[in-house]
Amino acid sequence: MRKKIKILEVEDEAITAFLLAKELSECGYEVASRVPTGEKAIVTAREFKPDIILMDIRLAGKIDGIDAAIRIKAESDIPVIFITGYEDREMRERAVAIKPWGIFIKPVEIIELRKSIDAYFTKEVNAHGSFVQ
């Protein structure tokens, strides 16, 4: 039996965060925490050690999702999937440079997001035996 995958959702738009968390829960994931800023994402990732992080790029607060992901990745190997409503060349280059597991443009197709999350953990199970009880 597989352990439920714990997700940290970083999204500053409350309704977007709520709807995505609802869809993820319906897919069998555990949205362990939702936070609206990059600063809170760093602290929450450190404290709760989620299995994966879904991170908006443009966030409320002093740092954006890319900078938050850089800081999180400096301390852990938690995979990050960026979800953004905006895409410009500079932002995409910054995001790609930190090697996220994926980048999705809003509105996110939950089926595609689920495929990406599952692909990461299938890789993990095959390589490391993770998430198998």
Domain boundaries, the chain: 6-128
Share of the chain above pLDDT 90, in %: 80
pLDDT at 124: 56
Containing H/E element for 53? strand 52-56
Tell me the average pLDDT across 15-24.
Answer: 96
Distances in whole angstroms, Cα of residue 15 to Cα of each of 34, 36, 56, 61, 99: 12, 11, 13, 18, 28
Superfamily grouping for domain 6-128: Response regulator (3.40.50.2300)
Does residue 21 carry a pLDDT above 50? yes
pLDDT at 2: 62
Tell me the average pLDDT across 45-63.
Answer: 96
Average pLDDT, the chain: 90
pLDDT at 128: 45
Confirm if 110 and 23 have CB atoms less than 8 A apart.
Answer: yes
Tell me the average pLDDT across 37-63.
Answer: 97
Does residue 27 carry a pLDDT above 90? yes
In this predicted model, what pLDDT tens digit does every residue of 78-132 receive, in sequence order? 999 999 987 788 988 999 999 999 999 999 999 999 999 999 988 755 554 433 3
Residues forming beta bridges with residue 63, ordered by sequence position: none
Does residue 48 carry a pLDDT above 70? yes
